[in-house]
Structure 1
């Protein structure tokens, strides 16, 4: 029994060492992979070549791509730990991206309402079967197409305004401990949350959504389990097969855009986890006086009513 336990312990230790070696090897190779990709863009950006499309699909969900992004994060974080002003700059840039996207695409909610009003008027009052927009050569689709397109506006708000809402502290926080602990303890919890929850969740959903997107754009369907060699073999028969089937015969014909938004959502969550980690660390280091430093919050200013003197 003792001998079996010792053998098992050695096996676990060996696996741990092998895992650490694998991580270190991929971190080192990340610099080579990034340099090679930047110096040979035709291998993955020349989409007139079927093999280039295949390489783009493969590397978008590959271990190599993950370690390139992760290494960039580690390098920038390391430099920022040395010069905190650089880290604050990264926070401001990433939060600025989230705020800009949110403030722009939040208007999709208004477009959704206006389009729904037009649809109701065209159907119930004018009894029209289609809506045409534009001058000269107008864009004309069946009313069911415009009705189903409303879902896309909703998807724009959800996917591209989620990190904006996070920056603006608009998400509901259910806490039993958080509100009762010290300022620096809160920042530690925030750092752990970004590393243990936000980043892994974004990576897992990305791996699913990336190939989910491309299975609705090209055939033969790529798979996350395929090696690069297997996908290159499939590329001989590759052709575009963009998803255009709606829920109704004349419905919305660009459902692949929902898959694009899913990928964008994962990317935004991942890079904003960086900003949240960096901000939490900097606020932990600098203390309560740095809370919400450089944070660009939207505030509705109350309109002051003119003072009317009372008459006796």
Structure 2
């Protein structure tokens, strides 16, 4: 992503799940706009990304299901750069898939551990720095599956719904301390995890781009990690200084629009007014 401003110069961020997909795009964008960034991920690809970005970047292998790992990522940010301004709780997995009556509970526990417990750990350790600091922004990644039934796996959907509730609850606590807490809801985005579901495998980003482009709700193209990063950076910036407890969709209206309006085409292409008992009248222009 091209650096377009220095909105985050002097700011410090931790991005969990920052080695690929949305997390990578956010880490790149924050760094490009002046932030110092800790990439916290179980994937060693995060180390290579940090090496490519150069200065103001650290990588720490982080399993978000392990509280001490999340604490260490926050501590690394403070030790290396002196503070913590942005915590992006983004690490997540699709987790266990399949019918509810055949769900392996051990896999369900792992899914919840990554997608919910990991976010809780992120809140806990970001808050212990941000509360005494008197400022900061915590953003967590949810999903349309946390709002709509039938668009995601069962346990994943439950965890993503819980992320929204948790975020709003924490927002109420941290508001008096000057710490903002918001949630982003990305639509289906081109990433290795999505490619594993809709294409031939995690490396088939071209296949994912084509598949998601075919079903795109807007702009006739797939949603990209950079599209989501633009929303995350807005929430993290001073431009959103009065926004907290917000659930922010970047999903072409998937969670807010049930479908194409049935009252603007076909028999309703010409305006009509529906009155009592189904009586209709031609719409009239009003001055």
- Please report the TM-score for the alignment, with normalisation by the length of structure 1: 0.21
Higher strand content, 1 or 2: 2
Higher helix share goes to which structure? 1
Point out the structure with max Rg over C-alpha: 1
TM-score after normalising by structure 2 = 0.22
